[in-house]
Amino acid sequence: MKKIIFLFFISLILIVLPAKAFQANAIVNLEAPYATFYKGTFDNLVMDFSLIVIKPDTLKALGLRNLGTAGYLHHLSYMTLWADSGPVGFQGIGVDRKIGNLNYSTAYLNWYIENLSEKITDSERFFVSVETFSGLSTSATINMQIPILTDNNANSSFDVGDLGIFMDSGNNGPTDANITNSNSQVISTYSVDALGPKLVITNLTDGSMINNSHFMIQGMARDQGNTYFKELYLYIDNQPVNIIDNFDTTNYTWSFDWQNITDGDHTISLQGRDGNGNNTQNATITVKASQQVSSLTNSSVSSDKTTIKNDGLDKATVTVIIKDQNNQPIANRQITVETSSDMIISNPNNISDANGKIVFEVRSVALGLKTLTIKVDGQVLQTLTLNVNTGILPMAGLNFGDLIKASTPAIYYYGADAKRYVFPNLKTFSTWYNDFSTVKTITDEQLGQIPIGGNVTYRPGVKMVKITTDPKVYAIASSGTLRWISTEQIAIQLYGANWNSLVEDVSDAFFINYKTGSQINSLSDFSPLDVKNAASSINVDKGLM
């Protein structure tokens, strides 16, 4: 009898043991300094911290708060999470490794990033930066914080509205204290652009070795203040090459195919000038050239999978080994990967390491057989075939973002979370689509396998709405956020003299799909075109991808 009582007592103890979690001392706050940020600028550091793990783990999500007054799409365009790379400390674009942009929750007033796969062996240093809005009309402050862990569903996994750091192991935190930056940063409306462009060479550093007769130099260039580039030059051995025609203004990337490289030392630098005359010239680096001929026979390509799911998360890891004719590894040799546009290549370092190795990952959200052709020195090393056919709903031709229907007239949006979203009425549908030509028909059984995720709301910036029992007229911002237009004059300024023709009634039954944001008191508070362009799809508007 005593043994039975003892075992029962032990079982009670096990039941009430707390879940795994870490305390604030696992985070080293390295403190972003006090600074003033100006309109249309980027790589503005607002948080600098290291995360320490007891055993290898994976960062899955992060929920942050800004204790300052800076607001999304009014003061801040983006907030970005980086991992330290290159020289120690924050450098930003082209140097540190960009993990991704954070989302903003208007419902919970916090910033978050989820669905990460950031492996941490013992510790890793992270940065958070912001890009300021170009149309600033008021000053504001930023004071970032990693709050005490808030897991609203108590499921050890991140859901929108949760706060803190979430790990794959469930060892989440901090549980005992907020991690708050001691310094605030100030966003200024000062409008004179006195900042030069930011120029980076991304695939060469001082002392790099080039072992081929040609090399594709790659880099990034972006102007602080959002003006245009008037000049962009690459200097090789003090000879200028105009690379502005090779500049991708969308992705801020540039490239130059350096041909007929002779053995020996070569100097390389960049110089750029923006439309306001601000000039930047980066430090000169020296690279060494010594040719080494690659061998297709001795080199190899392998993949750990031949089949992946079309959920955009499952991945195949591809390993390339480049060797010369003497079977020796070739370092600093570039490869090119040719594939269809619906393939996602991550960790895309295309230059071999000291062992001749290059590793990258391939994912997709589109079904079917996909090919990847890997080339070295302009020659095909190998072509891999990847079968993307075991997704959440493995039916031919169905991709996230499609319009779908079954035997009934109801049309749904197939979201990136593998759920279907309902159009409450034709008026809502018409703010997103012009017609029904892209609707795909599936069986009732297949439709039944897709759970309903919610209702689609009006596309931001297209229409204004009012509830049938309330005279207030609202503009629509991201994620179904309603912003009351406080006067008729502001409505005219935003939508024109015939603004009232763009107002549509939303019934009480569907009004609950929306949430209320701050009211619009001036023209600078809201831009219909900006919010419309930002909501490029329902997936984007709902934060599903």
pLDDT in tens, 116-140: 999 999 999 999 999 999 888 899 9
Q: Confidence class of residue 2 from pLDDT cuts 50, 70 and 90? A: very low
Q: pLDDT averaged over the chain?
A: 89
- Please report the beta strands in 322-441, taking only residues with DSSP state E, as ranges in sequence order: 335-338, 343-346, 357-364, 368-376, 379-388, 403-405, 412-414, 420-422, 439-441
Q: Confidence class of residue 28 from pLDDT cuts 50, 70 and 90? A: very high
User: What is the pTM for the complete model shown?
Assistant: 0.59
Q: What pLDDT does 8 receive?
A: 34
- Yes or no: say if 462 and 504 are a contact pair by the CB < 8 Å rule: no
Query: Using CA atoms, how far apart are residues 153 and 137, in angstroms rounded to an integer?
Result: 39
- Comparing 282-286, 306-310, 470-474, 480-484, the range with the smallest average pLDDT is 306-310
Burial 277-299 (b: 16+ CB within 10 A, else e): ebebebeebebebeebebeeebb
Q: What pLDDT does 136 receive?
A: 83
pLDDT in tens, 388-409: 765 555 554 677 789 999 999 9
Tokens representing 122? 């013992």
Whether the per-residue pLDDT at 285 is higher than 60: the answer is yes
Q: What pLDDT does 18 receive?
A: 39
pLDDT in tens, 442-479: 888 888 878 898 999 999 999 999 987 888 999 999 99
The better pLDDT of the pair 244, 2 is held by 244
Q: What pLDDT does 11 receive?
A: 37
Which amino acid does the sequence have at 119?
Answer: K
- Comparing 353-362, 381-390, 532-541, the range with the smallest average pLDDT is 381-390
The percent of residues above 70 in pLDDT, for the chain, comes to 94
Q: What pLDDT does 470 receive?
A: 82
- Comparing 18-27, 302-311, 461-470, the range with the smallest average pLDDT is 18-27
User: Which CATH number is associated with domain 24-188?
Assistant: 2.60.40
The percent of residues above 90 in pLDDT, for the chain, comes to 68
Distance, C-alpha 374 to centroid of its chain: 26
Q: What pLDDT does 343 receive?
A: 86
pLDDT in tens, 134-153: 888 899 999 999 999 999 99
Span 491-496, average pLDDT: 94
Whether the per-residue pLDDT at 4 is higher than 70: the answer is no
Which amino acid does the sequence have at 509?
Answer: A
Which superfamily does 199-289 belong to?
Immunoglobulins (2.60.40.10)
Whether the per-residue pLDDT at 244 is higher than 80: the answer is yes
Q: Confidence class of residue 237 from pLDDT cuts 50, 70 and 90? A: very high
Q: What pLDDT does 9 receive?
A: 35
Span 299-321, average pLDDT: 89
Q: What pLDDT does 15 receive?
A: 35
Q: What pLDDT does 189 receive?
A: 87
Q: What pLDDT does 395 receive?
A: 55
Q: Confidence class of residue 3 from pLDDT cuts 50, 70 and 90? A: very low
CATH of 300-388, one of 3.40.50.2020, 3.40.50.1370, 2.60.40.10, 2.40.50.100: 2.60.40.10
Q: What pLDDT does 13 receive?
A: 35
What residue spans in the chain does CATH classification 2.60.40.10 cover? 199-289, 300-388
Burial of 257: CB neighbours in 10 Å, binned 0-12, 13-18, 19+: exposed
- How many CB atoms sit inside 10 A of residue 204's CB? 21
Residues 6+ apart with CB under 8 A from 521: 486, 490
Q: What pLDDT does 86 receive?
A: 87
Q: What pLDDT does 292 receive?
A: 87
Whether the per-residue pLDDT at 545 is higher than 70: the answer is no
